[in-house]
Structure 1
Amino acid sequence: MSSAPALKYLSGYPPALLAQVQGLIEAGRLGPYLAERYPEGHEVRSDKALFDYTQALKQRFMRNAEPLNKVCFDAKLKVIQHALGTHTRAQTVQGSKLKTRREIRVATLFKEAPADFLRMIVVHELAHIRELEHNKAFYQLCEHMEPRYGQLEFDLRLWLTQRELGAVAPPA
């Protein structure tokens, strides 16, 4: 595999699968494959739209979970540090009460990503409200909210690989 560094987002996957991906890259077919599989863009471009989008998913699947105080796009999140989104909670004391602020930040690159990938990253960050660690319960919750979660996560990694190679057009 001559372009092994290009597959950094796919580390941990079986060698046979990596060889298939490398074959798609070398044949120039990875971009067209992704464009055909994920043709739909989305209209979520502002922080308010992202908050509303996230709240709708939270209301549908996690109605009893603690409220979110903020959801926004964050240009400082870097894919290089493997941060596509973050979920933070900050506790403050106000008088005799302990208040918790919850925030979700999504990397700005998701403004241009296919709609399915935005949904996947929002589902991922929402799951962190209930499960802090990436354990079995976490992934079960992700798959409850998005049954194709595992495939979307893999395809997002393909999309990031293709994006790094410089040939990803935004979805329609």
Structure 2
Amino acid sequence: MSNLTYLQGYPEHLLSQVRTLIAEQRLGEVLQKRYPDTHNITTDKALYAWTQDLKSQYLRNAPPINKVAYDSKIHVLNNALGLHTAVSRVQGNKLKAKAEIRVATVFKNGPEAFLRMIVVHELAHLKEKDHNKAFYSLCCHMEPQYHQLEFDTRLWLTQMALSGQA
């Protein structure tokens, strides 16, 4: 796989290391060694509770989250790993906004660290809408290994695509 779809934008020296791991058929082994365990957050209810715990720990003053769910319609290649949406509805003479977080279903069976990285990313959007310096600072505040986890998540998705699981 010379076209590393999930890793576009990363420096060539990293991509060449990834290509070497793929050529030696060791990428899956390296990831399995680094992230041996999966999580048990497999229902929308469990995901909502887990996300609320993270939110209350780091973002107490952020707007409330009304819904957190796994979404099988999110295709990780075309869209994103997760989505944060604000649904606005008119109720009487008031405009009510409800925040929703959706996570790609593929992460139901992945390592907890990857799920945490995605949820942290979507929670950060409660405070910062754009992917700017303040946004990534907030992500790193909630998850100090955020950037490494994002890269490793993309490696994991690459491995899944190579093995025909994505």
Q: TM-score, normalised by structure 2?
A: 0.96
For 1:107, the equivalent position in structure 2 comes to 104
Unaligned 5+ residue runs, structure 1? none
Q: Is 1:80 matched with 2:77?
A: yes
Deviation at 1:126, TM superposition (A): 0.4
For 2:25, the equivalent position in structure 1 comes to 28
Mapped contact 1:87–1:128 kept (Cα < 8 A): yes
After superposition, residues 56-67 of structure 1 pair within 5 angstroms as 56-67=53-64
Task: Indicate the structure whose relative CO is greater, using CA pairs within 8 Å and at least 6 residues apart.
Answer: 1
**Aligned residue type for 1:10:** L
Q: Is 1:130 matched with 2:127?
A: yes
For 2:92, the equivalent position in structure 1 comes to 95
Distance 1:16 1:69 in 2: 42
Mapped contact 1:123–1:145 kept (Cα < 8 A): yes
State the SS of the aligned residue for 1:102: strand
Kindly report the root-mean-square deviation, in angstroms, between the aligned alpha carbons of the 2 structures: 1.1
Mapped contact 2:6–2:77 kept (Cα < 8 A): no
Q: Is 1:4 matched with 2:11?
A: no
Q: Deviations over 1:123-143 (max 9, x none)?
A: 000001111111111100000
For 2:144, the equivalent position in structure 1 comes to 147
State the SS of the aligned residue for 1:80: coil
Distance 1:78 1:123 in 2: 19
Unaligned 5+ residue runs, structure 2? none
Distance 1:72 1:103 in 2: 8
Distance 2:105 2:57 in 1: 24
Distance 1:20 1:123 in 2: 27
Deviation at 1:92, TM superposition (A): 1.8
**Aligned residue type for 2:124:** A
Mapped contact 2:114–2:149 kept (Cα < 8 A): yes
Further displaced range: 94-103 or 45-54: 94-103
Q: Deviations over 1:25-82 (max 9, x none)?
A: 1111110100000112111000000000100000000011110110000000001214
Distance 1:16 1:141 in 2: 28
Q: TM-score, normalised by structure 1?
A: 0.93
Mapped contact 1:31–1:167 kept (Cα < 8 A): no
